[in-house]
Amino acid sequence: MQKITMHTSKTYDILIEDGLLASAAEQIAAILPPPRKCCLVCDRTVYSLYGRQDLPLFVSLTGAGYDVNICTFDPGEGSKTLRAAEEICGVLASKGFTRDDFIIALGGGVSGDLAGFAASIHMRGIPFVQIPTTLLAMADSSVGGKTGVNTDAGKNMIGTFWQPSLVLIDPAVLDTLSQDELLNGLAEIIKAGFIADGTIFDCIGENISEAIVKAIQVKKEIVEADERESGSRRLLNFGHTIGHAIEKCSGYTVPHGCAVMNGMYLTALAADDLEWSMTPVSGLIKNVIDAFAYPKYEELKAPQLAEAAAGDKKRVSDKIIIVYPDQPGRCKTKELPVSELEGFIARGVRLWK
């Protein structure tokens, strides 16, 4: 078993091992000993795969002495709403959950964001455990303490910083993912490689567990230095300003990782053309996109993307913070006037086409 310890406002472990799902109760009991109530939050697809009462996770939790409740929702970003969080909190209240009880976020990024947000607001905060079942959640969203729900204004516009008490990663469950879903998660691992650790690329395709560990290590170092995203943590948003805009403009039909990959490429194209970068990186990103056959969303237009991106959380007054690659394995940030954002995106779109 591999263990990574996060030292933030809450210290917690990230455990990584094949088969860990079946022994989850044993690991949880070490920090949140029974008897306690817990609420398993997952979408209906994940419930059928891993959350049912006859499956190892539920059996191990009840066998350890936990009173297990279940909240399910429809798969997809469309379920990540204030209403859904309110419904989870309603279940917790009806079942008499106190601050000694906890939530388990089982699934991908939607489950983690939604369950973590509900945990952060019920009784002003109860513990929660992340058990990610997608590559994207394992390598990125389950770690770092960001929670949130979507609004008409954009993705994750309402949220909190609320660190989990434990993260349990079982790479064996990746066998159930489609190729498209693996690509979706691989984008965040690739992002970590361009931000800080080029050796990640040596692991992709050969040892996915090692690639996950390396991506988490990149995020760990950045988050520990800047938990609340006032400085260096912004580097983790490489590709996300335009990526989130692509998601919003598509009505959230474009998967997050694929949108971020397109966002990284468009950003790098524009930054290289403006000579911001010490060493051009856009060609390397294009090689990755071509090698893995990532879908391209060239039909989306710069004015619409700029309008969506202008409301991004990384906006500060009349400027927006752009994360761009300065050279392979290193990103930097630059404040761009919002009035120039459309031109920046248009430059990337033009060079792509």
Nearest to 20 by CA among 113, 118, 138: 138
Q: Is 301 a catalytic residue?
A: no
Nearest to 285 by CA among 346, 195, 353, 206: 195
Q: Is 122 a catalytic residue?
A: no
Q: Is 80 a catalytic residue?
A: no
| Residue among 80, 122, 155, 188 flagged as catalytic | 188
Interior CA angle at 227 toward 341 and 169, to 5°? 105
For residue 68, the number of C-alpha atoms closer than 13 Å in the C-beta half-sphere is: 21
Q: Is 124 a catalytic residue?
A: yes
Q: Is 347 a catalytic residue?
A: no
| Residue among 233, 234, 248, 314 flagged as catalytic | 233
Give the single-character DSSP code of 280. Answer: -
| Residue among 146, 155, 214, 313 flagged as catalytic | 146
Q: Is 237 a catalytic residue?
A: yes
C-alpha span between 320 and 334 (Å, rounded): 8
| Cα dihedral sign, 32-36-42-48 | positive
Q: Is 286 a catalytic residue?
A: no
Structural tokens at position 317: 């007054």
Nearest to 4 by CA among 198, 164, 237, 178: 164
C-alpha span between 63 and 74 (Å, rounded): 28
Q: Beta strand 154-158 with 319-327: parallel, antiparallel or unpaired?
A: unpaired
Q: Is 353 a catalytic residue?
A: no
Q: Beta strand 319-327 with 330-337: parallel, antiparallel or unpaired?
A: antiparallel
User: Which amino acid is located at 151 in the chain?
Assistant: T
Active-site annotation, residues: 124, 146, 188, 219, 229, 233, 237, 240, 244, 256
